[in-house]
Amino acid sequence: MGAGKKMKHAAKTTKGKVKETTGKAVGNETLQMKGRREQIAGDAKQTAQKAKDTLKH
């Protein structure tokens, strides 16, 4: 996986974790759900990129 893409996907996952934690702390369910969605999207993109890299080799 390219280092740039890896960092981008990891950053999206981390950003989602921060949003979810913040949402929990302030009692904002909408923010929690947005955070979870970002985490899932980041994880899915990382997984897809890893699979793509595996097929190349």
pLDDT at 27 over 60: yes
Average pLDDT of the segment spanning 7-27: 94
pLDDT at 1 over 70: no
pLDDT at 3 over 90: no
Report how far apart, in Å, the C-alpha atoms of 7 and of each of 3, 10, 44, 51 are: 6, 5, 14, 17
3-state helix, strand, coil in the chain (%, to 5): 90, 0, 10
pLDDT at 12 over 80: yes
In terms of Cα–Cα distance, which of 9, 17, 14 is closest to 49?
9
In terms of Cα–Cα distance, which of 45, 51, 55, 57 is closest to 4?
45
pTM: 0.79
Of 5 and 32, the structure prediction assigns the larger pLDDT to: 32
